[in-house]
Amino acid sequence: MDEQELRSLFSAAPGDEPSAGFTQEDVVRESRRQTLRRRNRITAGVSAAALVVVGFGAYGLLSGGTPGLTSAKDNAAVSAQSGQPGLGPARPQVGGESPNFSSTPPQQGGSGDGKTGQLAEGASGCEQVDGELAIALAGELPGHVAAAQASPGSACTTASRSAGFPVPGGEVAAAVYPKGIPVAFKSQPAGTVTAQVATTSGGTLVLVSVPGAENAAPYAGDVDRFARELAPRF
C-alpha cells in the first residue's frame, strides 16, 4: 500500500465523537417525571372506580333498599289510582268523622253554623223572617226589592209570621196570624196606614205602612190593594 492510499484511508475515517446533548441529571429528572405521571394516572383511575361504586350503592338505597320510602311511594300510587286521599290529617279516620266537616246539619235558612238564619219558611215571632211572606210582599212592592233585604217588620208578634222591607219614606210590613189567634201588635207611629184582610186558611193578614221621620206613609193609597192580593196566598 503506498502513501497515497494510506492518506485516503485516514481521510475517510470518522472524526471525533460529538459531545452528548444531555447530562446524567437530565436523565434522572426525566425518569422521576415519568414515574410521577404513572402514579397520578393510577390514583385517578382508583378514585373514579370508587366514585362509581359509591354512586351505584346510593342509587340502590334510594330506589328499593329503604322499606319506608318504598311503602310511601306505593301508598301514593294506590291513592292516585283509587281517587281517595292518602294517609294524612285530612283523611277521615275509621269509625269517626273528619274534622273538616260539621256533624250538625244546617237548619232551614241557616248559614251552616247550626243557628237558624234570618229567612225561614213558616217561621213565627219577631226574630225570624218568614221566607214565603217576604217573597210575596217583595213581588207586590214597586221597584226592585230583594227578599234578602227583609226584616221581621213592625207588625210582627210572637204568634204571627212576618216580613217587612225598608222603602223610600218609611217601611212596609205584613204579618199573617193563624186561625183563632187575635190580631195584636205593638203600637205604630202617627200616620201609619193599616189594612186587615182574612186569609184563605181562616187567619188574618195585616199590612202596615209606617212613615219615616216627617214623611207620609209610603204607598198609603196601595196598602188595601197589597193586603187583598197577599191574603189569598195564606
Residue 38 lies in a domain: yes
Report long-range pairs for 118-121 (Cβ below 8 Å, ≥24 apart): 118/150, 118/151, 119/147, 119/148, 119/150
Residues 216 and 187: their CA atoms lie apart, in Å, by 17
Residue 167 lies in a domain: yes
- Among the residues of the chain, which ranges form H helices? 3-12, 24-60, 67-82, 131-140, 223-230
Domain stop point among 37, 53, 77: 77
Q: Which of 154-158, 160-164, 196-200 has the lowest mean pLDDT?
A: 154-158
Q: Higher confidence at residue 2 or residue 157? A: 157
Is residue 119 within 8 Å of 150, Cβ to Cβ? yes
Q: What is the pLDDT of residues 35-51, one digit of tens each?
A: 877 777 787 676 666 66
Same domain as 142, residue 58: no
Same domain as 144, residue 73: no
Residue 88 lies in a domain: no
Residue 183 lies in a domain: yes
The C-alpha cell of 134 is what? 217576604
Counted domains in the chain = 2
Residues 72 and 154: their CA atoms lie apart, in Å, by 64
Q: Which range marks the domain in which residue 31 is found?
A: 26-77
Report whether pLDDT(218) > 80.
Answer: yes
The pTM of this model reads: 0.49
Same domain as 50, residue 142: no
Mean pLDDT for the chain overall:
74
Residue 173 lies in a domain: yes
pLDDT number for residue 35:
82
Q: What is the pLDDT of residues 22-78, one digit of tens each?
A: 677 777 777 787 787 777 778 767 666 666 665 665 555 555 544 444 444 455 554
The C-alpha cell of 7 is what? 492518506
Residue 21 lies in a domain: no
Q: Which of 87-96, 115-124, 142-151, 198-207 has the lowest mean pLDDT?
A: 87-96
- Among the residues of 61-174, which ranges form H helices? 67-82, 131-140
Same domain as 149, residue 64: no
Q: Higher confidence at residue 53 or residue 168? A: 168
Q: What is the pLDDT of residues 192-204, one digit of tens each?
A: 999 999 999 999 9
Residue 7 lies in a domain: no
Domain stop point among 50, 77, 104: 77
Residue 139 lies in a domain: yes
Is residue 109 within 8 Å of 121, Cβ to Cβ? yes
Could you tell me whether strands 161-167 and 193-198 are parallel, antiparallel, or unpaired per DSSP bridges? unpaired
Domain stop point among 13, 48, 77: 77
CB atoms within 10 A of CB 94: 5
CB atoms within 10 A of CB 57: 11
